[in-house]
Amino acid sequence: MMKSLDEQMRALLDGLARDVEPVPEDVTPEIARHLYRERLKHFAADDVAIGRVEELEIEGPAGVIPARLYVPVAAGARSSAVVYYHGGGWSLGSLDTHDRIYRTLANDSGSRVIGVGYRRAPEHSFPAAVDDAYAAAVWVEDNASTLDIDPGRIAVAGDSSGGNLAAVVARRVRDMGGPRLAFQLLFYPSTDVVNRRASYETFSEGFYLDSQTMEWFVSQYLPDEKDRSDPAASPLLAEDLSNLPPACIVTASHDMLLDEGKAYADALKEAGVTVEYRVCEGLVHGFLFFQGAVAAAREGARDAALVLTDALR
Q: Does the active-site annotation cover 160? A: yes
Is the pLDDT assigned to residue 18 strictly greater than 90? no
Candidate list 160, 161, 199, 234, residue with the active-site label: 160
Cα 98–Cα 104–Cα 107 angle in degrees, nearest 5: 140
98 is an active site residue: no
| Residue 285 is among the residues annotated as catalytic for this protein | yes
Q: Return the pLDDT at 1.
A: 47
Alpha helices, H only, the chain: 7-18, 29-41, 99-109, 128-142, 144-147, 161-176, 198-202, 211-221, 258-270, 295-311
**pLDDT tens string 103-155:** 999 999 999 999 999 999 999 999 999 999 999 999 999 999 999 999 999 99
197 Cβ neighbours under 8 A, 6+ residues apart: 259, 260, 263
The helix/strand/coil state of 94 is coil
pLDDT of residue 17: 80
- Of 43 and 67, the structure prediction assigns the larger pLDDT to 67
Per residue in 152-191, pLDDT (tens digit) is 999 999 999 999 999 999 999 999 999 999 999 999 999 9
User: In the chain, what's the furthest Cα-to-Cα distance?
Assistant: 50
Higher pLDDT, 74 or 12: 12
From the candidates 86, 98, 254, 285, which is the catalytic residue?
285
| HSE toward the beta carbon, residue 281, CA cutoff 13 A | 4
Annotated catalytic residue within 108, 192, 255, 259 = 255
Mean pLDDT, the chain, integer: 95
Task: Name the phi and psi angles at 108, rounded to 5.
Answer: -70, -35
Q: What integer pLDDT is reported at residue 203 of this predicted model?
A: 97
The predicted pLDDT at position 125 comes to 98
> Could you report the per-residue pLDDT of 208-252, keeping only the tens digit for each?
999 999 999 999 999 999 999 999 999 999 999 999 999 999 999
154 class by beta-carbon count within 10 Å (0-12 exposed, 13-18 middle, 19+ buried): buried
pTM for the full model? 0.96
Looking at residue 27, its pLDDT comes to 86
C-alpha to C-alpha distance for 90 and 41, rounded to whole angstroms: 20
Residue 40 confidence (pLDDT)? 86
